[in-house]
Structure 1
């Protein structure tokens, strides 16, 4: 490691956690575009669902009680989270791909830059920790390219119910939908 390299740390120590299995109540940061009232409501519906399913959710709309430096806050949330959910939308894709307006969506653009940096520095860890989420009415084409919309997993939420978010909840809680069978010992003779 050269003297210009650095280790990215959060509450779990270095970015590569010793135990990749999430805790009983995983901490999640939600990154999304504030592109419409309907989209914000959908994101908050997802957040409420996740909390009701035992997830420790951190989303900006729940932290408006004081003036704060949002860049510092978002950086800390991303580094401290067990998972970062990136909610797919056209403006999120533009911010992630660097194709949106230069002067718009500054907070989202900052979050996407940080996530790209983390992905580049430690792709194995951050591919597991950053989860693209597709809400009802959205599509895979709205996931930023650096999150590999077609060559890595993404999580489709079909409704704001535990059943509609089953795949996402299983990843957050580390419970696979299918487990390999337990081998049985054969008795010969």
Structure 2
């Protein structure tokens, strides 16, 4: 896959803001993105307009860091870097009205105008402190052409998800990294045992497969041999007991994986036709030093008798 090239457009509001921009650019570089940044690529004596024009033209995407000061300068069309970049970016957008090259991100901006007028119709990402990790996860996925919430695979009928095996499989569940209960609340280290953890037993066993995501979220996968399907429940369902039909057509059927935030619910079906619903209660990522461990807390229910309803069992 071709390395994405990104140009950073921002205003030098303060030394603290320049350091914030540098940290974001560094993190993107560490995740394989080629970033053009004046703090790295512009030297004393270089031609500033040439740097801006070549950087904006060569980049696949342009990240606008929309502080309150940046937005004001862009809207006022002042002379200087922000105003000059605005003219170039505006011309490029007009040349390709369907372009998604420009990605506005908002930080240090309490004004009603979160982005400059010339990109006011574009969706932006909030990089304020509480939103930073989730927005970064969305940004890096977008730059690499991935989706945090992939479109569900379309099937001919929700009933096609049902499995009625002739010879039920009894899975060999390990004694460690497992909980045989059909209903429980467990706290595990999602990075231990290569992210694998079993719940249930016999024909009702499910192998759960996890990996780290952004703050307050976790990746869950449809890869294990015991899993037939993985669906993500809409946010209107607050508790597992709200699910009366595990084959509800409003559920997002995932082909391989999905990120789950705290409070979200997933429904899995194993290859024996049993359904499991789990809710993410808490996700904690800690440092890799000493004895610190990541922690994932979930509540789960395995519906008996291959029932598709959890209302009586949760």
Query: What TM-score results when the alignment is normalised by the length of structure 1?
Result: 0.72
The alpha carbon displacement at 1:27 in A equals 0.3
| More off after superposition, 51-60 vs 61-70 | 61-70
Paired residue secondary structure (1:123): coil
Change (3 A) 1:158 1:173: farther
Aligned residue among 166, 173, 181 for 2:144: 173
In the other structure, the counterpart of 2:123 is 153
Paired residue secondary structure (2:64): strand
Change (3 A) 1:163 1:94: closer
Q: Deviations over 1:17-53 (max 9, x none)?
A: xxxxxx5421000000012111111111111111111
Change (3 A) 1:170 1:67: same
In the other structure, the counterpart of 1:85 is 63
Change (3 A) 1:41 1:69: same
In the other structure, the counterpart of 1:53 is 31
Paired residue secondary structure (2:143): helix
1:143 and 2:143 aligned: no
Q: Deviations over 1:98-118 (max 9, x none)?
A: x26x45xx1221001111122
RMSD across aligned C-alpha pairs, in angstroms? 2.4
In the other structure, the counterpart of 2:11 is 33
Q: Deviations over 1:47-85 (max 9, x none)?
A: 111111111011101024452111011111111101000
Of Structure 1 and Structure 2, the greater helix share is in: 1
Query: What TM-score results when the alignment is normalised by the length of structure 2?
Result: 0.45
Change (3 A) 1:185 1:124: closer
Larger RCO (CA within 8 A; separation ≥ 6): 1
Paired residue secondary structure (1:132): strand
On the 8 A contact 2:126/2:132 being kept in 1, the answer is no
Of Structure 1 and Structure 2, the greater strand share is in: 2
Q: How many residues align?
A: 156
